[in-house]
Amino acid sequence: MGRPREFIRRNLERVDAQVSLLTCALVIFSCLIIFFVTSGIMLSILTDVYDERSDLTFSTLASHLDDNIFRDDISESAYMAEMSYLAMVKDNMKVSELYIFKKGYSEGIERVLDTDDAGKTEIAHNRFETGKIHDRVEEVYDIAYARPGDFVYTDKGYRYMRFYPVNAGGRNVKGVVGVSIDAQKIWTIKTILHILIAIIILLCCLISIRFSKRIFRKISNPLYQDASNTDTLTGLKNKNSYTVDLHNIEMGNQERYGVITIDLNGLKEINDTRGHQAGDLYIQRAAKILREALEGTGCIIYRIGGDEFAVFVKDGSIEYIKELAEKIDETTLKNQKETGSTLTMSVGYAKFDPDEDRNFAQTIGRSDNMMYDNKRMFYQEKNMKMR
């Protein structure tokens, strides 16, 4: 358990991971806002259409509704005539079902007419309602006016249902008409949209993670030139950029990377004898040599101290990194011959080795050790020549 937690903690500490999480949160929030607003508008429009059809259906039905339907002693012929009219209105208005309810002697809600009963030859008695339909009919009896419709799940699928009072005068309600419109296709489309929006959000998150990481790494990356990441004297990447990129390397696949470390020889002597302006020119010449030696390799050069430089090499073998270090020495010698410069550099190199290095900082340490060994050899040879 410790390792997964440590892995998650280390990844969450990465700035690019935090940027990605923030971007994902903004994408999810934006997508959900758009979805809920658009689906709310669409549902409102659809509800208005259903309400208009329900209102028209009720007004057509109510104008010819026989009051005898609410009596317990209604004749079979009157019942069948009313059922026939109910079925005709249903067909003409393109609704799914029509119901008529009344309160029975037990104060329960009784369904006295149902278009599903069309074709039957006898009166259906004592069919009492329960659940949501009962509550909506009971509410109409209490308030004596039609409330907005609602989507209800029935044994026939999703329906849009609205209930209207049949008034006996004033606020007295003698019955309730229920209009039911098939909404199963709409509900299926809504379910599909929910699934699609979830997939779209997931895809947007994956795309945003990829692009936010690339943009962030471009901003903090050695290839991006800006004042906060660029050394003003040499135009190379500075210590700030070096630190950020080292952190990114250690948080990623370190085995892909190698490093070359460089230290100028004799800068202190030049500063002491010829002044710091000459020392600055010495450093600039060194930066020019490094650029020339590593041109076209894709390697990133940093000035990390007064006379210290580093190069990160990606996807190169130890042999390739050694060749680059030798190219730096060769370019330095070439510059001496062409310009008469006395500039020399001590160079070290290393490739990340999981058997030797716990992190990339230890790889840099091995490269520094080689560089300092070469620097000692340089000064030993120089002192021997001076004797």
Q: What is the tens place of the pLDDT at every residue in 41-96?
A: 888 888 888 889 999 988 888 878 877 777 777 777 877 888 888 888 888 888 88
Q: Is 372 left (phi over 0), alpha (psi -120 to 50) or beta?
A: alpha
What does 196-220 look like in DSSP terms, one character per residue? HHHHHHHHHHHHHHHHHHHHHHHHH
Averaged pLDDT score across all residues of the chain: 84
- As given in the structure block, the two tokens for residue 58 are 């009720």
- The answer for residues whose C-beta is within 8 angstroms of residue 341's C-beta and 6 or more apart is 285, 335
Helix (H, G, I), strand (E, B) or coil at 88: helix
Residue 324 corresponds to which amino acid?
L
Instruction: Give, for all 387 residues of the chain, the pLDDT tens digit.
Output: 455 665 555 554 555 666 677 777 888 888 788 878 877 888 888 888 888 999 998 888 887 887 777 777 777 787 788 888 888 888 888 888 888 888 866 668 888 778 877 666 566 666 777 788 888 888 888 888 888 888 888 888 888 999 999 887 767 888 889 898 988 888 888 788 888 888 888 888 788 777 776 666 665 554 444 667 889 899 899 998 899 899 989 888 899 999 999 999 988 888 888 898 989 999 999 999 999 999 999 899 999 998 999 999 999 999 999 999 999 999 999 999 998 888 999 999 999 999 999 999 999 999 999 999 999 998 888 887 765
Q: What is the tens place of the pLDDT at every residue in 297-330?
A: 989 999 999 899 999 999 999 999 999 999 999 9
Contact by Cβ (8 Å): 144, 173: yes
Q: What is the tens place of the pLDDT at every residue in 89-109?
A: 888 888 888 888 888 666 688
Cα 131 to chain center, whole Å? 41
What pLDDT, on a 0 to 100 scale, did the predictor assign at position 325?
A: 95
What pLDDT, on a 0 to 100 scale, did the predictor assign at position 44?
A: 85
d(CA 276, CA 305): 15
Nearest to 146 by CA among 76, 62, 232: 62
What pLDDT, on a 0 to 100 scale, did the predictor assign at position 90?
A: 86
Helix (H, G, I), strand (E, B) or coil at 295: coil
d(CA 100, CA 137): 10
Cα 125 to chain center, whole Å? 58
- As given in the structure block, the two tokens for residue 19 are 């940027």
